[in-house]
Amino acid sequence: MMQQQEIFDSLVKNAFDFLEQGISEFEKSPKYSVIHFCAAVEMLLKARLMNEHWSLIVSKPDQANLNKFLAGDFISVTLEESRNRLRDIAGEEISDEGFNSFRSLANHRNKMIHFFHADMESDGDAKSQIVAEQCRSWFHLHILLKRWDDYFQDFSNEIRRANKSMNSQRKYLGAKFKALKKDLDAIRKSGSIPQICSACNFKAAIPKHKLGTISAVSCLVCEHSQTQIEMNCPHCNKPVVVENEGFATCKSCRGAIRPEHILDLLTDHSKAYIRIKDGDYSWEPANCGGCGAYHLVARQGDSYFCTNCFDISERITNCEWCNEPSTGRMSDSYVSGCGHCSGMIGHQKD
């Protein structure tokens, strides 16, 4: 009988096979490109989930049967169930931007399956939309695969191959980029400078608003949105841009940049010291109610920024049981606790 590692390897190999197929057949059969690309995304999420236990990719784990599972006789989790289980069981958070891109691709896949599109091969706008969705989805999936390197390190060649193949796909968005020339020129004249988009590589990402060194940008070509921080590398002091989450690698020195480095950058230590000394504890590092990061939320003016998942919150609240500061709701925290304690219920059990 196959061991769990063998099942995992088989699932990942199948996922990359679907991914390469989806990319390669886009020119002649965009419909099947969407179907296969989306299947690959879902399989890779399930593979990470299966690393916790094979039964977690079964829709009803309490009814999971290994023999039926190995025979393929089971209903697997949905995209949303995969996200929820990765968060609640594996402690792996998929950002809203990432999940929305996966869901958009899945919705397009469902339309392809259920509705006939006779002119798809010659419909330039439809093909452009498909490539944009695939670029956004690959951007977020690639981030997850790098974060999950401990599990996918044996597939580094497949990941590199897929990334190289996706770079060739971006040429289909060239016509849209050219059509936006007047709009981009007008944006430059207004004083805003378009930046290179991380998803499609076109210089069409427009800054929307800034919070100190934190800025939100949105691409006019592929509609990819991201939050980014411009900073100096803590290792070599060269300029670097960190996008969408607090983990990056400096292109100059290859040094690892972590949320702790960003927290240190964003914290006005002198000001925080004075405010805390005066009794304003909102200047102490807080916990993130979204991703669960411990003491990685920095105060930025009147807002609070998580240096782990890049979520921005308007306020922090103290847990009613352990008094830990956190973003997110704390209304029932006395009874059930927060992300870092079990509240009164956990105390009574202990």
Judged against a pLDDT cut of 90, whether residue 213 lies above it is answered with no
What's the whole-number mean pLDDT along residues 258-265? 93
Task: Note the maximum CA span of the chain.
Answer: 69
Judged against a pLDDT cut of 50, whether residue 210 lies above it is answered with yes
Query: What is residue 72's predicted lDDT score, i.e. its pLDDT?
Result: 85
Most confident of 43-52, 67-76, 134-143: 43-52
Q: Say whether both 30 and 108 belong to one domain.
A: yes
Locate 194 and state its tokens.
Answer: 């378009």
Span 313-331, pLDDT tens digits: 888 899 888 989 998 777 7
Q: Yes or no: say if 300 and 211 are a contact pair by the CB < 8 Å rule.
A: yes
Structural domain count, the chain: 3
Of the residues 148, 176, 204, which one is the last residue of a structural domain? 176
Query: What is residue 1's predicted lDDT score, i.e. its pLDDT?
Result: 47
What's the whole-number mean pLDDT along residues 98-117? 85
For helices 30-50 and 4-24, angle between their N-to-C axes, nearest 10 degrees = 160
**11/112 Cα distance (integer angstroms):** 24
DSSP code, position 150: H
pLDDT band, residue 123 (cuts 50/70/90): low
Characterise 343 by phi-psi region: left (phi > 0), alpha (psi -120 to 50), beta (else): left
Judged against a pLDDT cut of 80, whether residue 171 lies above it is answered with no
Count how many Cα atoms sit within 13 Å of the Cα of residue 295 in the half-sphere of its side chain: 7
* 3-class state of residue 287 by DSSP: strand
- Burial level of 187, CB count in 10 A (0-12/13-18/19+)? middle
Q: Say whether both 47 and 102 belong to one domain.
A: yes
Residue 75's CB is within 10 A of a number of other CB atoms, namely: 9
Q: Say whether both 16 and 165 belong to one domain.
A: yes
Span 281-304, pLDDT tens digits: 889 999 998 788 899 999 988 889
Range name among 9-23, 107-121, 164-178, 336-350 with the lowest pLDDT average: 107-121
Residue 49's CB is within 10 A of a number of other CB atoms, namely: 23
Q: What's the CA dihedral at 277, 282, 284, 288 to 10 degrees?
A: 170
**47/44 Cα distance (integer angstroms):** 5
DSSP code, position 154: G
Does residue 263 lie in a domain region?
Answer: no
**154/210 Cα distance (integer angstroms):** 39
**What is the residue-averaged pLDDT of the chain?**
87
Residue carrying structure tokens 């847990």:
319
Span 236-247, pLDDT tens digits: 999 888 888 888
Q: Say whether both 24 and 125 belong to one domain.
A: yes
Range name among 28-32, 112-116, 131-135, 309-313 with the lowest pLDDT average: 112-116
**296/294 Cα distance (integer angstroms):** 6
Residue 299's CB is within 10 A of a number of other CB atoms, namely: 21
Q: Yes or no: say if 186 and 98 are a contact pair by the CB < 8 Å rule.
A: no
Q: Yes or no: say if 144 and 208 are a contact pair by the CB < 8 Å rule.
A: no
**239/345 Cα distance (integer angstroms):** 48
Query: What is residue 183's predicted lDDT score, i.e. its pLDDT?
Result: 92
Judged against a pLDDT cut of 80, whether residue 2 lies above it is answered with no
**250/238 Cα distance (integer angstroms):** 8
Query: What is residue 121's predicted lDDT score, i.e. its pLDDT?
Result: 58
What's the whole-number mean pLDDT along residues 42-64? 92
Locate 316 and state its tokens.
Answer: 């922090």
Of the residues 176, 202, 217, which one is the last residue of a structural domain? 176
Does residue 131 lie in a domain region?
Answer: yes
Of the residues 197, 222, 257, which one is the last residue of a structural domain? 257
Taken as a whole, the chain contains a residue count of 350
What's the whole-number mean pLDDT along residues 149-164? 92
Judged against a pLDDT cut of 80, whether residue 117 lies above it is answered with no
Judged against a pLDDT cut of 60, whether residue 164 lies above it is answered with yes
Q: Say whether both 222 and 163 belong to one domain.
A: no
DSSP code, position 133: H
Q: Say whether both 31 and 171 belong to one domain.
A: yes
Range name among 53-67, 120-134, 192-206, 294-308 with the lowest pLDDT average: 120-134
Does residue 266 lie in a domain region?
Answer: no
Query: What is residue 57's predicted lDDT score, i.e. its pLDDT?
Result: 92
Q: Helices (DSSP H) in 51-123: which residue ranges?
A: 66-70, 79-88, 96-114
Does residue 297 lie in a domain region?
Answer: yes
Global pTM reads: 0.70
Does residue 129 lie in a domain region?
Answer: yes
What's the whole-number mean pLDDT along residues 19-40? 90
Query: What is residue 236's predicted lDDT score, i.e. its pLDDT?
Result: 95
- Burial level of 60, CB count in 10 A (0-12/13-18/19+)? exposed
Span 335-346, pLDDT tens digits: 888 878 888 887
Q: Which residue has the higher pLDDT, 194 or 332?
A: 194
Nearby residues of 55 by Cβ (< 8 Å), 6 or more positions away: 61, 64, 69
Judged against a pLDDT cut of 60, whether residue 133 lies above it is answered with yes
Nearby residues of 325 by Cβ (< 8 Å), 6 or more positions away: 281, 282, 284, 286, 287, 297, 316, 317, 318, 319
Q: Say whether both 232 and 131 belong to one domain.
A: no
Q: Say whether both 226 and 286 belong to one domain.
A: no
Domain that holds residue 209: 180-257
Judged against a pLDDT cut of 80, whether residue 48 lies above it is answered with yes
Range name among 67-76, 165-174, 212-221 with the lowest pLDDT average: 165-174
